[in-house]
């Protein structure tokens, strides 16, 4: 699990993408079927959780769940 209280791409998906480029034995866990129904609106197509202050009044936050292949 990687999470950060930021919506800056270089602190969120950029960090995950850099990690995945160096560790080909990991991938993003896109197991949407296990996602709580109330969270599905904040999970994007890549499986990243992103919240933004301008959408829903939540703090800016990024999270990604990675799994070893």
* Per-position b or e across 4-36, b if 16+ CB within 10 A of its CB: eeebeeeebbebbeeeeeeeeeeebeeeeeeee
Say yes or no to pLDDT of 68 above 70. Answer: yes
pLDDT at position 58 is: 87
Among candidate residues 2, 7, 10, the one with its CA nearest the CA of residue 61 = 7
Query: Would you list the domain boundaries of the chain?
Result: 2-68
Q: pLDDT (tens digit, 9 = 90+) per residue, 16-52?
A: 999 999 999 999 998 755 555 667 788 888 999 999 9
Say yes or no to pLDDT of 10 above 60. Answer: yes
pLDDT at position 34 is: 59
pLDDT at position 66 is: 96
pLDDT at position 56 is: 79
């Amino acid at each position: 699990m990687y999470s950060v209280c930021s919506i800056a791409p270089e602190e969120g998906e950029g960090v995950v993408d850099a990690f995945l480029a160096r560790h080909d034995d990991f991938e993003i866990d896109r197991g949407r079927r296990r996602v709580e129904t109330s969270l599905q609106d904040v999970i994007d197509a890549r499986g990243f959780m992103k919240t933004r202050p301008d959408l829903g009044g939540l703090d800016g936050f990024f999270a990604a769940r990675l799994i070893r292949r």
